Structure 1
Amino acid sequence: MSSIADNIRSVTRRIQKATQQAGRKPDSVRLLAVSKTRPPEDIRAAAQIGQTAFGENYLQEALDKIEALKDLPDLEWHFIGPIQSNKTRQIAESFLWVHSVDRLKIARRLSEQRPDELGPLNICLQVNVNDEERKSGCSLTELPELATAVSELPNLTLRGLMAIPDPNQSEADLKQSFQKLAHALAQLKQSLPGAIQLDTLSMGMSSDLEPAIEEGATWVRVGSALFGARPAK
């Protein structure tokens, strides 16, 4: 049975190979280790070989891990799950990045509740690129208006876009989904003020990180390839 360290090295090689094949800079893609449902010991094992960025979906579980691992000050916590209005304060107080903002109400609350001493919260807008009925995310049509409004909020920095394309698509359709997100980011860069740091595409997971990187991903969110299959509920 391979260790977490071995798995991280293997995924890192995949990222490096895909980045090279896409003709991109070696450091242009970062690995976000999706640690939801994993114990603090797994995160600690990953941190021991240099992994610093971890993505969490469930707030209370994440807060417990942040407390358990507070002796590791270099860890970078990303919230990547659906956001309820009554959870925004703790998210704003505890995370460096939020990848899953899909409506202005949530963005406003995060901005209002972000402690000044922590600096702006890095935000990605989640886009429902395949218009799936049961999936979170704004539509591509709604995106320009939402991005403009979020970019004006004082305690947030709009960094880019996130998507979770339909995994049941063909390889060609999946690639097109990634292209849609990349094209949407390119359009926002042209329409929003130049000072906005629109430099992030959070897309690609364990099974599809290579095509995501080919289309411009800067964060790939990888869980099972690092930690193994998630425990059954």
Structure 2
Amino acid sequence: MSTIEKNIAKVAARIREAAQAVGRDPASVGLLAVSKTQPAAAIREAAEAGIRDFGENYLQEALDKQAELGELPLTWHFIGPIQSNKTKPIAEHFDWVHSVDRLKIAQRLSDQRPAELPPLNICLQVNVSGEASKSGCAPEELPQLAQAVAAMPRLRLRGLMCIPAPSEDPAEQRVAFARLRALRDELPLTLDTLSMGMSQDLEAAIAEGATWVRIGTALFGARDYGRPQ
């Protein structure tokens, strides 16, 4: 087995054990491989080991990899901050967007989603920890934003996403994830997705209901941030 294959097996075991520990079906937790800064060859290797969902933060890098891997049946998720001038290619080339945090971006994605494609799956990013450095709408802004996005014809609002302040304490980790779950459950909408949890805190996220865990380092190793964006 290659290193990536071994890492996928380890992460799958962590997901399975974390789900079973809280009485959840492990199949209800999706593994989203965060492939930003990773070469196309690493994505191909992960795909050969059974991974189908890949998350990218940097648009041009992602488009280059999509072109190189076009023959593979992959599902592409955009998970990074979104600039207004990047919405058209995101709307055209991705299946999911996890990082919508304002109405203007959502409206542009809906307007620019090609008619021949199914509606774009959307998660609204919420700044659950109140960090000035983090993207995400404020929790009090969420109800109005969610109602507006749910009404957009070329989008399908699926749920919420968060990137909490890092913590080594599993109890603190769970508090942040529980807040996102509560915010989703308070909305008068039927939403099936919680995109939360990364390599260091996936167990806490799964305990609080994560349906996507976004895993990079534990699958691919440390990132090379010297790669062009």
Provide structure 2 residue ranges, at least 5 long, that are not aligned to the other structure.
none
Query: How much does 1:171 deviate?
Result: 3.0
- Matches of 1:131 and 1:171, distance apart in 2: 19
Which of these residues, 203, 222, 231, is aligned with residue 224 of structure 2?
231
Query: How much does 1:112 deviate?
Result: 0.2
Structure 2 residue aligned with 1:212: 205
1:63 aligns with 2:63: yes
Query: How much does 1:134 deviate?
Result: 1.2
* Two-structure CA RMSD over aligned residues (Å): 1.2
Q: Deviations over 1:135-170 (max 9, x none)?
A: 100011000000000000000000000000000464
> Taking structure 2 as the reference length, what is the TM-score of the superposition?
0.96
Aligned residues: 226
Cα distance change on mapping 1:85 and 1:182 into 2, 3 Å: same
Query: How much does 1:19 deviate?
Result: 0.7
Identical residues among aligned pairs (%): 63
SS in 1 for 2:116: helix
Provide structure 1 residue ranges, at least 5 long, that are not aligned to the other structure.
none
SS in 1 for 2:25: coil
Structure 1 residue aligned with 2:43: 43
Structure 2 residue aligned with 1:24: 24
SS in 1 for 2:32: strand
Which residues of 2 match residues 1-233 of structure 1 at below 5 A? 3-72=3-72, 74-168=73-167, 170-188=169-187, 191-192=188-189, 196=190, 198-233=191-226
- Partner AA of 2:203 in structure 1: E
- Matches of 1:119 and 1:110, distance apart in 2: 13
Query: How much does 1:96 deviate?
Result: 0.2
- Matches of 2:160 and 2:152, distance apart in 1: 17
Q: Deviations over 1:59-93 (max 9, x none)?
A: 00000000000011x10000000000000000000
